[in-house]
Chains A and B, each alone.
Chain A
Amino acid sequence: MNVELIYSVATLGLIGSVSAVILYFVAQKFKVIEDPRIDQVQEVLPSANCGGCGFAGCRAFAEALVMQGGEKGNLDGLKCPVGGNDVMAQVAGILGLTVEQQDPVIAVVRCNGSFANSPKKVIFEGATSCVFAHNLFAGEGGCPYGCLGLGDCVKVCNFDAIDIDKATGLPVVNEKCVACGACVTACPRKIIELRPKGKKDRRIFVSCVNQEKGGPAKKNCAVACIGCGKCVKVCAFDAITLLNNLAYIDPLKCRLCRKCAPECPTGAIHELNFPQKKETLATEINKTGSRNEALTEKVSEPAMTPDSKSGNNNGGISNET
């Protein structure tokens, strides 16, 4: 047999074996001991990596869950908004802990300054970025607190759950929302808030964040909260507070009694997914233009087609107008 061949085989074999031994010891030396439960926890997480939990991704959140579960013995303050109670219960099962059931939340757009309610006073041209427009000027409708309608919230949403309605210029949250909170941080005007979904998706909130006095606020937008305080007086549960000319309904105290909404002189208080009261039906429809109310119609409609989001939205709008 050829000697060169034997030499080559022998040399390569030797190099291979030596490298294998070195690699083995290096691997032993640098071995990272990791809690196997981290992998298990990560397995049950939704892997959306949305950051809604406040961590860099599902892996980081899994690490945090296992760490805190080991140290404190509870999972307070840690929650996967996408997976909700089911996933948290599974995680707690893996870690041998219990977790409190939390009410599901959803993103709520607190502005109703549609083209009809807050007519354009100037035209904006330039980069389609709410942050940029916010730094440049008060907004096309003139309201320095209102929605700019350039869709920063839409851009950051990983779940296709928010979209700008072309008819009103306002973002609309649909049922795909998992309450990750990305839009809440993206909005330069802090218009979007996470609120409890409520029973049967019923919610009442003030759809305005304008802190100006009544006069200027009303000048720019027909449905602005003017800080009159009528809703505060009528509320039997101390759920409504008035701060800086703006009413706010605390969702934890609100019992959804629906007394406040008819009191509001500008229609800034929105009721979602309630059966329409007979006597208010006409006025409600007059006040529309709001995407949120479009949502009301959609969600409450059982024969809703699950596909084609835009079709849904248009359907909602055409019902309204």
Chain B
Amino acid sequence: MLKTFKTGGVHPPENKITEKQAIKVLPVPAIVYIPFSQHLGAPAKVLVAKGDKVKAGQLIAKGEAFISANIHSSVSGKVQKIDEVIETSGYRKPSVIIEVEGDVWDESIDRSDRISKDIILSQKEIIKRINEMGVVGLGGATFPSHVKLMVPEGKKAELLIINGVECEPYLTSDHRLMLEKGEEILVGTQILMIALGVSKAMIGIENNKPDAIAHLTELAKNFNGIQVHGLKVKYPQGAEKQLIKALVNREVPSGKLPIEVGAVVHNAGTSFAVYEAVQKNKPLFERVVTITGKSVKNPGNFLVRIGTPVSDLIAASGGLPEDTGKIIGGGPMMGKALVSPEVPIVKGTSGILIMNREESGRQELKNCIRCGKCITVCPMGLEPWLLEKLVINENFEKAEAEKIVDCMECGSCHYTCPSKRPLLDYIRFGKGKVLQIIRTRNK
């Protein structure tokens, strides 16, 4: 019996169209738009000015706050201007616009293919390096990785968990990375283990990727303390708390971080980025992005420079299909719908999913028939139908008592609702309101 988490969960059609497509390198675009805020926390502070020449890997914005991350140039060229550029949601965010000239990398980056396994840096140096290289969580939340590695006082990390679950339908970027860069991911895992001071690491992979499980299990024999675990396919297993529950059967208390139960979770993609940052001195300025969708001509996995416009990636996959109804940054369950294909790819973009009009439309909504399906699928044990009602009636105090803040917005409730009610829309709205109320109360 394979492990999985107990409460709730759904199993949407996997549609992993691109799982057999090897990672291809997307040609360097003609122009890139690099936003200063690609991570959770404070935006980074810009260091370059209009007309400056930059190299790929050069620091262009520095994260000065505790929760912030450095931003590096992903190309070499000239800074055209520093302006506000629309991002995913259509709002304008300050960004550096760089006109590409050639492809010159910073000299300090080791561009050889050799896998370097010897870790020479100490714990503190590793964390410092990860911070400098602007590594953030690549699963989608984009939380600065170095902050996660600094265990708060009074707490002790016992276990590192590497998240290779990739439970979102369609996406295959982590899957391909684990197959093609398995050894690097394991070295990255070891680096993270040193940084955390733990002796044990577990890699969780859903068993719809048997090749990745086999490959990593074989490789892990040469590494001390790293175990690979196959997990039963179930969404949202890639969520931190659910993954910890599935692997070691510990429940992170409501409102607390995973470190509370001694675990720290990092994404497989992050582990690869950590390897490159620490062993190759390479900042995070490119990542693997899946471009997929049922109508896409040549779906695939591409290694893309941060800041590349999504339209460039779409062009590489055969152009935007005629019947496009929605472009989603990320997976279909938690991804964000893009307002335009002209927005840049950022550190948190794990995939671009193009849905046709038929798939993307919402259906007519009916009365709630109180079937309780939303309760049975909620991985956090909440009652989405009740929260929806409370939010519509603006009863935010009650919604807070019903733990609306615990919602991680996985979308299982809305996915499963037979009446097609926009449960998550209202919960998200109510959650924002409740968080605001809590903030004013704590002031």
Binding site for B on A (CB under 8 A): 121-122, 125-127, 129, 131-132, 135-139, 142, 144, 212, 216
Contacts and interface: CB of A to CB of B under 8 A. Distances in A.
B226 to A, nearest CB: 40
B422 A127 contact: yes
B111 to A, nearest CB: 39
Contacts of A142: 90, 339
Contacts of A144: 90-92
A150 to B, nearest CB: 11
B91 A131 contact: no
B84 A136 contact: no
A311 B337 CA distance: 38
25 contacts: A121-B339, A122-B90, A122-B340, A125-B361, A126-B362, A126-B422, A126-B425, A127-B426, A127-B429, A129-B425, A129-B429, A132-B429, A135-B429, A136-B89, A138-B86, A138-B89, A138-B90, A138-B91, A138-B339, A139-B90, A142-B339, A144-B91, A212-B92, A216-B84, A216-B92
B432 interface: yes
A318 B337 CA distance: 37
Q: Is the interface of B mostly helix, strand, loop or mixed?
A: mixed
Contact of B362 (A122, A125, A212): A125
Contacts of A135: 428-429, 432
Contacts of A127: 422, 425-426, 429
Interface in B395-443: 422, 425-426, 428-429, 432-433
Interface residues of B, number: 18
Contacts of B362: 125-126
Contacts of B84: 212, 216
Contact of B429 (A125, A131, A216): A131
B433 A131 contact: yes
B86 to A, nearest CB: 7
Contact of A121 (B91, B340, B422, B433): B340
Interface of B: 84, 86, 89-92, 337, 339-340, 361-362, 422, 425-426, 428-429, 432-433
Q: Is the interface of A mostly helix, strand, loop or mixed?
A: loop
Nearest to B429: A132
Contacts of B422: 126-127
A137 B336 CA distance: 10
Contacts of A216: 84, 92
A131 B430 CA distance: 10
A212 B92 CA distance: 9
Contacts of B432: 131, 135
A161 to B, nearest CB: 20
Contacts of B89: 136-138
A127 B424 CA distance: 9
B7 to A, nearest CB: 26
A238 B4 CA distance: 69
Nearest to B428: A132
Nearest to A142: B90
Given A137-B91, A138-B91, 18 more contacts: A122-B340, A127-B422, A127-B425, A127-B429, A129-B429, A131-B429, A131-B432, A131-B433, A132-B425, A132-B426, A135-B429, A136-B89, A137-B90, A138-B89, A138-B90, A142-B90, A144-B90, A212-B92
Residue of A121, A129, A135 ringed by the most chain B CB atoms within 10 A: A129
Nearest to B362: A125
A127 B86 CA distance: 23
Contacts of B361: 125
Nearest to A144: B91
A131 B429 CA distance: 7
Contacts of B433: 131
A1 B84 CA distance: 100
Residue of B337, B339, B426 ringed by the most chain A CB atoms within 10 A: B339
A121 to B, nearest CB: 7
A157 B4 CA distance: 49
Nearest to A122: B339
Contacts of A129: 425-426, 429
Task: List 5 A-B pairs, minimum CB-CB distance, nearest first.
Answer: A138-B90, A127-B425, A132-B429, A137-B89, A126-B425
A142 B91 CA distance: 8
Contacts of A122: 90, 339-340
A219 to B, nearest CB: 10
Nearest to A143: B90
Nearest to A135: B432
A121 B90 CA distance: 10
A172 to B, nearest CB: 24
A139 B86 CA distance: 12
Contacts of B339: 121-122, 137-138, 142
Contacts of B86: 138
Contacts of A131: 429, 432-433
B351 to A, nearest CB: 19
A132 B84 CA distance: 23
B129 to A, nearest CB: 36
B193 to A, nearest CB: 38
A131 B426 CA distance: 10
B408 to A, nearest CB: 16
Contacts of A138: 86, 89-91, 339
A217 to B, nearest CB: 11
A250 B340 CA distance: 37
A216 B94 CA distance: 14
A139 B91 CA distance: 9
A142 B340 CA distance: 10
A139 B340 CA distance: 12
A186 to B, nearest CB: 11
A121 B342 CA distance: 13
B339 to A, nearest CB: 5
A99 B361 CA distance: 58
B399 to A, nearest CB: 14
Contacts of B429: 127, 129, 131-132, 135
A93 B429 CA distance: 46
A131 B425 CA distance: 11
Nearest to B430: A132
A86 B55 CA distance: 71
Nearest to B361: A125
A216 B85 CA distance: 10
A190 B157 CA distance: 46
A173 B433 CA distance: 27
A135 to B, nearest CB: 6
A129 B337 CA distance: 18
Nearest to A141: B90
B105 to A, nearest CB: 33
A132 B430 CA distance: 9
B95 to A, nearest CB: 13
A126 B362 CA distance: 8
B188 to A, nearest CB: 34
A139 B361 CA distance: 18
A212 B85 CA distance: 11
A137 B337 CA distance: 9
